[in-house]
Amino acid sequence: MYTLGIIILDYSFDLEMSEKLHSYGFESKEIKKMDQLSEVDGILINVNQKINNHTIKGLEWLTNLKKEKCGVPIWLYTDTPMTPIERKLCLHLGANGILVRDSEEEENDFIIMKNILGCLVQPENSSLVILNKEAHSLSFNGQEEISFTRLEFQVFSFLYDHAGEVVTYQQISDYLCNGEREVQQYRISNIIFLIRKKLGEEGKDLIRTIRTKGFQLNKMLV
């Protein structure tokens, strides 16, 4: 069962919506922070057009999600149909679709959503990243093996073991030195820079920087 991250604007997540999504074959999880994105397979932004500025706030969330390169498809879920201009704007900003609550097409839209996720979500027993601990290397998405220095591989392996979690600078430092001394933040950032450089364009979305905290390996890509 796929998990949809639900973004609720200005009011609490209602049980009725959760039950409806479950009836269509989805688990649901309310999203309040960007670092929760790795826990879901898709995003549903719930927009009530009867409330002032709701559509604008929905578009702001959509824009911010795209800036963060969240790596999962995003849909808007509205109480009333949008105008053609509004729909076009949402699609241009990166929405994968617009669903209308309680419309005749709602069930079909969720079936299409499930089909799209079926094409995008990796099966649990497969992995895009394969680590070679003896050679300090990895292969990503079936490409040629990428070699790392011992330190680079240690850092990547630690992120890999905690995929989807925010790993702090302090945790990385403690892991590298067993807590005996501290690796300064700028050195850890430099190691991540070198790892990203070796991963290249193919792996540009693999490691996310969580500002002032640390880093997060995109669980959807491992």
Q: Given pLDDT bands bounded at 50, 70 and 90, which one contains residue 92?
A: very high
CB-facing half-sphere around the CA of 163: CA atoms within 13 A: 12
Contacting residues for 60 by C-beta, under 8 A, at least 6 apart? none
Confidence (pLDDT) at 122: 57
Confidence (pLDDT) at 127: 57
b/e code 64-102 from CB counts within 10 Å (16+ = b):
ebeeeebbbbbbbbbeeebeeebbeebeebebbbbbbee
| pLDDT tens sequence across 134-181 | 899 998 877 788 999 999 999 999 999 998 889 999 999 999 987 677
Structure tokens at 135: 């050679």
Confidence (pLDDT) at 15: 73
Averaged pLDDT, 25-46: 86
Q: Is residue 14 scored above 70 in pLDDT?
A: no
The answer for 124, left when phi > 0, alpha when psi is -120 to 50, beta otherwise, is alpha
| pLDDT tens sequence across 98-144 | 999 889 999 999 999 988 888 876 555 445 788 888 899 998 877 78
Residue ranges with strand state E in 32-116: 42-47, 74-78, 97-100
Which one-letter amino acid corresponds to residue 96?
A: N
CA distance 118 to 141: 18
Confidence (pLDDT) at 158: 94
| pLDDT tens sequence across 31-40 | 888 878 878 8
b/e code 189-215 from CB counts within 10 Å (16+ = b):
eebbeebeeebeeebeebbbeeeeebb
Q: What is the dihedral of CA 196, 200, 202, 206, to 10 degrees?
A: 0
